[in-house]
Structures are given as structure tokens and as C-alpha cells.
Amino acid sequence: MSQNVFSRISGFYKRCLEDRLSAIEALGVLDEDARAHLASGGGLPTAVADRLCENVIATHALPLGLALNFRVNQRDVLVPMAVEEPSVIAAASNAARMVRLSGGFTGEADPPIMTAQVQLDDVPDVDAAASRVVAARASLLAAGDAAIPRMVARGGGCRDVEARVLSAELGVLVVHLYVEVGDAMGANLVDTVAEAVAPLVQRIAGGTLGLRILSNLTVRRLVRVTATASDEALGGAEVASGIARAIRFAELDPYRAATHNKGFMNGLDATAVALGQDFRAIEAGAHAYAAMSGRYRPLSTWERIPGGVVGRAELPLAVGTVGGLAEVHAGVRAALQLVGAKSARELAVVLASVGLASNLAALRALASEGIQRGHMRLHERKRALAAAGSGGAAASPSGEAKRFAPERADGARVVQQGEGET
């Protein structure tokens, strides 16, 4: 499959669904199974769904779209998003176009190190017990590696041990084992390690054994991205200065920071869902990291520089390109082919870049015309569809359908004016 993707596809939103799919197929990034899956309209067979979770009665679909214009670490990227919100894809695409004019997004991700936790209560002389645990580092790492031989054979495995005293008075000790998990998200691997080493930890430290499980606050698996947008691309110096003022607001006020971070996660979550990632774990880790200083803070910032703004984001991001839904869900496999990431670390940088783009789009709207104008115009499509009934406007040439078409065109014009990919 081709790796020379050009993500700047002008007028993509104006094409019919079949023409959009043909344009993507022509890029050569999809294998035959992925092309067939997307051409069929996507979806998950109920027989597969019935094996993925309990009490299945049907499947529940979301639209799958593409965010365009993304250039990440000098590579053009097609970004699949599964989301019902009409403005998310358009806004991310437009922000990516602005950033593209200044060279695109750059980023790096830490090695894929996950955290296994073993809890102990009622530990006598908890500080001395913590010292004994650290001194037994080699034995603990060996015990952890013995539980995941296939990962060790692939170059992963246990890398470090840490002991944290949570309460000397109550004798609460938690032991962390840090596990490198390759291109997997790694949750099951890390849970296996936690359960395997727990008896040895208890013998070393004493006390009552508690929980043995991963932490979704993966502080040794951070991703960092940066991007620049010029005053001209943003719509003027006043807009750029407004973005900087909005950041100060988010840094000072956790009520604003929560909404700021929701805007950041809008695009990231939609991409994570399309790619079969554990978006619940991603959300938990991101918001916990935002509060680690003791005050809830923004995950991303935008700083005023001469002629524009520079954005930066840092957050924990545990994602995978192997295992999980990629093994059983044809749509996830197709989405992974579209994004073209060769490793979990590369995928993490793409996801964080999408988050930063979504954040920039929201801040730009807030600093200029306000969030509602473009947002609600794009919502007209949903309102018209609801008015047309469950069959949708395309189901029949009724009066409701006729009213739907102009509203779709109006939504497209909003996209053209700044919410979309052109």
C-alpha cells in the first residue's frame, strides 16, 4: 500500500459519499478488505458484536468521517473520526489547514511504559518496607517478566520498580512496576504483571494485600506536541491575542479549564473511537494529569509570539496499533490503514495533534465570532434530518427533503467560511 498520502484534498466535503470514498481508495492506503468494508457502509456484524460484549441485541453506529489537512512530523496524515457532532471534523480540518501553513504539527512520545500497581495496607514500619521493596528491584522485575514471556521476547518487559508511601499512619504502601508494552495499549499485560508480582511484594513488605491493577495515569507514557499558526491564518492579530487571553482564563479558572480540555478531547476522542482505542482510559488519564499539580489546569496552551501563536500540549496517552479491536473489527483495521501510523508512539503523536487542532479551532471561534454561530449552523443538518423523520431526507423527495437540501448547502457554506477543510 502507498505511503505517499496528501491530506490536503480541497473541496472534499462538497463531493458525494461515493466520490469521497473513491478519492481515498485512489490514494492506495487501503487493502482490499478495508476497501470492501468501507464501500459496504461499514458496520459490525452482530455475530462479532455478540462476542465483544454481553447481552448484545444489535449494533449502534456512528458516522465515520475524515479530518483532512493534517501534517504531523513532516508526514501527511488522514485522520478518521467516529463522531455524531457535525462541527468536530470540520473544525479540526480547518485548524489543521491553518497550522499546515506554518509547517504542521511536531511531536514526540515517550516509550510505551505502563504502570502496574500493587496495594498493601497495614504495613508495619512502612518506610522500611518501601526500602526493602526497592532493594528487591531485580527479583521483582524478573517475576514480572516471567509472567509475560511473549512480550519480553518482542523486546518489552518490566523496566523499573517504585515504592510510594501513601500513609505512614495507616501503613498504606503502593508498589509500581513500570512495564514496556511495545505497540500494544497494554492494559491486560500490565494487569497480568500486577497479579504475578503481588505475592512477592507482600512477602517483602508485609501487610495486607489489596488491589493489583494498572493505573490509567501513565506518567511515563507522555506525548508532547507543538504547532504554530500565523495571525493571517487565524484571521488577524486581534484574534491571536484573544486566543492568548483565553489561555490565561483557563490557567486561572478550573471551571474554564474543564471546558477548554473538553474542546481538546473532542477531536482526540473521536479519532480514538474510530481507531478502536480505549477512549475511557485516555479521558481518565488526561484529566488526572491535568490535576496533578493540585489544581485542575489546561492540557494545552497557546502563547502569543510575533506574527502568530504557538501551541503546546502534553498528556499521558496509552494507545496501540496491535491487539484489541484491531484483531476483530474490520472498521478499526481500515481506520488504522487510513492513519498509517507505524507504531503506537507515532499514533500517540497523531492523536495529540488532533486534540491540539480541535482546541485551536474552538479558541479561534471563541476569540472571534463566538462559538455558537458556526456551531449551530452546522447543527441545522441534524435538525433538518430530525424534521424529515427517521428515514432521513434522502429517503424520499418529500417537502421535508426539499427543505433539507438548502440547509445542507448552508452548512457547507459555513464550512467554506472557516469551519471546514478548505
Q: At what angle do helices 254-274 and 237-252 cross, to 10 degrees?
A: 100
Task: Pick the catalytic residue from 37, 260, 287, 375.
Answer: 375
The yes-or-no answer on residue 375 being catalytic is yes
As given in the structure block, the three cell numbers for residue 304 are 502569543
The yes-or-no answer on residue 402 being catalytic is no
In terms of Cβ atoms closer than 10 Å to its own Cβ (0-12, 13-18, 19+), residue 397 is: exposed
Beta-strand runs (E) in 84-136: 106-109, 113-121
**CA atoms of 389 and 224, how far apart (whole Å):** 45
On whether the CB atoms of residues 9 and 78 are closer than 8 A, the answer is no
Task: Pick the catalytic residue from 160, 162, 262, 380.
Answer: 262
Cβ neighbors of 386 (< 8 A, separation 6 or more) are none
**CA atoms of 159 and 157, how far apart (whole Å):** 6
Report the relative pairing of strands 113-121 and 157-167 from DSSP bridges: unpaired
On whether the CB atoms of residues 308 and 226 are closer than 8 A, the answer is no
In terms of Cβ atoms closer than 10 Å to its own Cβ (0-12, 13-18, 19+), residue 188 is: middle
The yes-or-no answer on residue 314 being catalytic is no
The yes-or-no answer on residue 262 being catalytic is yes
Q: What is the CA radius of gyration of the chain?
A: 24
Task: Pick the catalytic residue from 76, 145, 269, 278.
Answer: 278
Cβ neighbors of 19 (< 8 A, separation 6 or more) are none
CA 72 to chain centroid: 15
Residue type, 394: A
**CA atoms of 269 and 54, how far apart (whole Å):** 24
Task: Pick the catalytic residue from 76, 85, 183, 419.
Answer: 85
On whether the CB atoms of residues 75 and 107 are closer than 8 A, the answer is no
**CA atoms of 112 and 353, how far apart (whole Å):** 18
**CA atoms of 401 and 385, how far apart (whole Å):** 8
**CA atoms of 306 and 303, how far apart (whole Å):** 10
Stated as kind and residue range, the H or E segment containing 312 is strand 308-316
The closest alpha carbon to 85, from 265, 210, 217, belongs to 265
Residue 136 has a CB neighbour count (10 Å cut-off) of 19
Which active-site residues does the annotation give? 85, 262, 278, 375
